[in-house]
């Protein structure tokens, strides 16, 4: 179970970073 929790945490981090990257790209495109 701990391994599965770690995998989920990694996925959450990756999704968060991806969302932030998209936000930055959109912000840069507007300027």
Task: Band the pLDDT of 1: cuts 50, 70, 90.
Answer: low
pTM of the prediction?
0.62
Q: Can you tell me the distance from the alpha carbon of 15 to that of 24, in angstroms, rounded to the nearest whole number? A: 14
Q: How much is the average pLDDT of 21-27?
A: 96
Which band of pLDDT confidence, cut at 50, 70 and 90, is reported for residue 20?
A: very high
Q: Which phi-psi region, left, alpha or beta, contains residue 25 (left: φ > 0; alpha: ψ -120 to 50)?
A: alpha
Rounded average pLDDT over 2-30: 94
| 12 pLDDT higher than 90 | yes
Identify the pLDDT of residue 5: 87
Distance between CA atoms of residues 24 and 12, nearest Å: 18
Find, among 17, 18, 11, 15, the residue nearest to 3 by Cα.
11
């Amino acid at each position: 179970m701990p391994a599965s929790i770690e995998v989920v945490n990694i996925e959450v981090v990756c999704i968060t970073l991806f969302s932030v990257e998209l936000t930055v790209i959109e912000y840069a495109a507007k300027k």
